[in-house]
């Protein structure tokens, strides 16, 4: 009978036992499925090819390792560049960066599943992973070459400070001579009071002002002396006159006196003389200061140079990312082996960071990719057929609706026609009844007259 016919050959059970697994394989448990879920693996589909579970598990391990490496890189970066941050803030930022790297690598790997993925898309994803790797690798390289970088930064800063101090000394001579005619000294000139040259300029300026004021005072005194001589001459005894029986001066004498008094008042001779005396005293004081300036100016200048040098040294960066990057470049450029080691470490860290996508590129399409591609094609085919069925059903539904509308329209037209004919018959009957009533009234009117 048909029910007695075996579904499989007798030796097929032994064949399944040799294979050790059925298709699909039983669902896996533990941490391995969670790792595979990170990279977008469909466990029911992978159950048809359980031989590839280990491969995709290690893909998930690579993604987690890259995220952990990124978190470690962020911790090293923050501890190097922002040592003032509290430990809790560093931990929060590291966890967030771990999540960002994990999400990005998970998307990069999960987007490569399926045979429909083209090689150029894999290269684009690999390029993105390399960019991410560069950001992760640099802080680790800074930490590996930390001692050499700090030494290079210290030497460079010492050289910068020495050059700065040399310019300060060159642009600020001990005799206080001006260096404004030197373009390189535009930003390195110090203002120190009491320099011999400055005092000499002040003495010269004071002498020029005193000489100009002395010339002005001499001119005013000369004019005032002339007016006083004229006054004395016009007010002499030979010009006296008798007025009221008393000898008195003339009106001309009185005018001369008023002119002398007004000129003395308007010329401000007293003020100018006091200013001249102050300038003379100030010149004497400046001359005394100049005699002592040679001993007092040099310590003040040296202190100003030392203060500026300390400020310059304190302002130089020692832990900034650009400073450390420049230091790493100097370390790599100063020694061939250091350059070789830097390149090797760069490549190693980049390969570690890009390993999830790199492993996918190197391994090529797997059986799981083939099955997933087949599922995608089947899904597209089924979806296309579903759309066709929906389109056919919608078209039939539209035909039914159209027929319903046509039937309903025909029925409504019939009812309208019937109502119209009935109304028309009623109007005709009413008109006949009205005509008959009129004829009856006419006939009755004629019968009465006859």
278 and 251 in a common domain: yes
12 in a structural domain: no
User: CA 92 to CA 94: how far, in whole Å?
Assistant: 5
Ramachandran class of 176: left when φ > 0, alpha when ψ lies in -120 to 50, beta otherwise? left
Structural domain range at position 286: 192-320
Report which of residues 337 and 71 the model is more confident about. 71
> In degrees to the nearest 10, what's the CA dihedral of 420, 423, 425, 431?
-140
State residue 399 phi and psi, 5-degree precision: -65, -45
> What average pLDDT does range 410-424 have in this prediction?
91
User: CA 226 to CA 243: how far, in whole Å?
Assistant: 28
**Which range, of 16-30, 88-102, 174-188, 404-418, averages the lowest pLDDT?**
16-30
User: CA 91 to CA 77: how far, in whole Å?
Assistant: 12
79 in a structural domain: yes
355 and 374 in a common domain: no
Q: Residue 248 belongs to what H/E stretch?
A: strand 246-248
3-class SS letters over 336-366:
HHHHHHHHHHHHHHHHHHHHHHHHHHHHCCC
> Using a CB cutoff of 8 Å and minimum separation of 24, what contacts does 254-261 make?
256/227, 256/230, 256/231, 257/231, 259/227, 259/231, 260/224, 260/227, 260/228, 260/230, 260/231
For residue 338, count CB atoms less than 10 angstroms from its CB and return exposed for 0-12, middle for 13-18, buried for 19 or more. middle
Whether the predicted pLDDT of 313 surpasses 70: yes
65 and 119 in a common domain: yes
> What average pLDDT does range 433-442 have in this prediction?
87
Q: 354: closest CA among 6, 60, 108?
A: 108
Whether the CA torsion 134, 138, 140, 145 is positive or negative: it is positive
pLDDT for 398: 92
User: CA 290 to CA 284: how far, in whole Å?
Assistant: 10
What stretches of 178-268 show up as alpha helix (H) in DSSP? Answer: 196-234, 251-266
312 in a structural domain: yes
pLDDT for 10: 45
Q: Residue 241 belongs to what H/E stretch?
A: strand 241-243
185 in a structural domain: no
> What average pLDDT does range 351-356 have in this prediction?
74
pLDDT for 393: 92
pLDDT for 401: 92
344 and 305 in a common domain: no
Identify the top-confidence range among 3-12, 94-103, 283-292.
Answer: 94-103
Q: 168: closest CA among 315, 294, 304?
A: 304
57 in a structural domain: yes
User: CA 305 to CA 398: how far, in whole Å?
Assistant: 95
SS3 label, residue 242: strand
> What average pLDDT does range 440-444 have in this prediction?
85
309 and 375 in a common domain: no
pLDDT for 152: 78
Q: Please state, for a pLDDT cut of 90, what percent of the chain lies above it.
A: 7
308 and 372 in a common domain: no
127 and 28 in a common domain: yes
User: CA 155 to CA 144: how far, in whole Å?
Assistant: 19
User: CA 345 to CA 357: how far, in whole Å?
Assistant: 19
The residue with tokens 């046509």 is: 406
* Residue 35, number of CB atoms within 10 A of its CB: 19
Whether the predicted pLDDT of 232 surpasses 60: yes
Whether the predicted pLDDT of 208 surpasses 80: yes
424 in a structural domain: yes
State residue 180 phi and psi, 5-degree precision: -65, -20
User: CA 207 to CA 254: how far, in whole Å?
Assistant: 40
Whether the predicted pLDDT of 245 surpasses 70: no
**Which range, of 123-132, 207-216, 266-275, 277-286, averages the lowest pLDDT?**
123-132
Are the beta carbons of 101 and 66 closer than 8 angstroms?
Answer: yes
pLDDT for 369: 80
Instruction: Locate the DSSP E strands across 323-435.
Output: none
382 and 262 in a common domain: no
- Position 390 confidence tier, pLDDT thresholds 50, 70, 90: very high
Give the total number of structural domains in the chain.
3
4 in a structural domain: no
Which residues face 434 on adjacent strands? none
The residue with tokens 């009812």 is: 415
22 and 124 in a common domain: yes
pLDDT digits (tens, 9 = 90+) for 276-308: 788 888 877 777 666 666 666 677 778 888 888
161 in a structural domain: no
351 and 307 in a common domain: no
On the question of a cis peptide bond just before residue 122, with omega within 30 degrees of 0, the verdict is no
273 and 204 in a common domain: yes
State residue 319 phi and psi, 5-degree precision: -125, 5
What stretches of 86-195 show up as alpha helix (H) in DSSP? Answer: 87-110, 119-144, 146-171
**Boundary of a domain, candidates 260, 290, 320:** 320
The two structure tokens encoding residue 101: 């790297």
User: CA 257 to CA 182: how far, in whole Å?
Assistant: 61
User: CA 374 to CA 199: how far, in whole Å?
Assistant: 96
Are the beta carbons of 257 and 236 closer than 8 angstroms?
Answer: no
Residues in the chain: 450
State residue 190 phi and psi, 5-degree precision: -105, 145
- Position 221 confidence tier, pLDDT thresholds 50, 70, 90: confident
């Amino acid at each position: 009978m048909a029910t007695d016919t075996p579904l499989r050959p007798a030796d097929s059970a032994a064949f399944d036992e040799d294979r050790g697994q059925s298709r699909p394989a039983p669902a896996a448990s533990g941490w391995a499925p969670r790792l595979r879920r990170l990279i977008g693996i469909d466990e029911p589909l992978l159950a048809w090819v359980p031989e590839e579970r280990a491969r995709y598990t290690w893909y998930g391990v690579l993604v987690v390792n890259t995220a952990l490496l990124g978190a470690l890189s962020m911790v090293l970066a923050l501890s190097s560049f922002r040592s003032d941050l509290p430990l809790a803030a560093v931990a929060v930022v590291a966890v967030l960066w771990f999540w960002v790297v994990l999400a990005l690598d998970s998307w990069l790997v999960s987007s490569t599943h399926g045979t429909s993925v083209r090689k150029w898309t894999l290269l684009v994803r690999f390029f993105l992973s390399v960019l991410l790797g560069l950001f992760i690798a640099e802080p680790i390289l800074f930490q590996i070459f930390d001692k050499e970088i700090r030494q290079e930064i210290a030497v460079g800063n010492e050289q910068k400070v020495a050059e700065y101090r040399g310019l300060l000394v060159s642009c600020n001579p001990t005799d206080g001579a001006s260096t404004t005619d030197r373009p390189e000294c535009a930003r390195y000139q110090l203002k120190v009071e009491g320099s011999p040259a400055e005092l000499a300029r002040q003495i010269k300026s004071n002498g020029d002002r005193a000489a100009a004021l002395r010339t002005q005072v001499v001119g005013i005194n000369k004019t005032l002396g002339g007016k006083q001589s004229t006054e004395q001459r016009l007010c002499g005894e030979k010009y006296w006159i008798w007025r009221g029986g008393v000898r008195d001066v003339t009106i001309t004498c009185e005018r001369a006196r008023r002119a002398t008094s007004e000129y003395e008042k308007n010329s401000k001779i007293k003020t100018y003389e006091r200013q001249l005396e102050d300038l003379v005293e100030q010149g004497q004081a400046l001359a005394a200061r100049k005699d002592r300036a040679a001993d007092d100016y040099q310590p003040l200048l040296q202190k100003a140079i030392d203060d500026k040098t300390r400020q310059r040294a304190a302002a130089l960066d020692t832990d900034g990312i650009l400073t450390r990057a420049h230091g790493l470049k100097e370390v790599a450029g100063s020694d061939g082996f250091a350059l070789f080691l830097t390149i090797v470490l760069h490549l190693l860290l980049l390969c570690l960071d890009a390993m999830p996508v790199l492993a996918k590129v190197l391994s090529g399409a797997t059986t799981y990719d083939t099955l997933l591609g087949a599922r995608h094609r089947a899904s597209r085919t089924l979806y296309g057929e579903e759309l066709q069925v929906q389109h056919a059903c919608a078209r039939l539904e539209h035909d039914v609706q159209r027929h319903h509308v046509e039937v309903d329209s025909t029925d409504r037209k019939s009812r309208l026609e019937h109502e119209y004919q009935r109304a028309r018959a009623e109007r005709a009957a009413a008109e006949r009844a009205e005509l008959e009533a009129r004829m009856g009234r006419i006939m009755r009117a004629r019968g009465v007259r006859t």
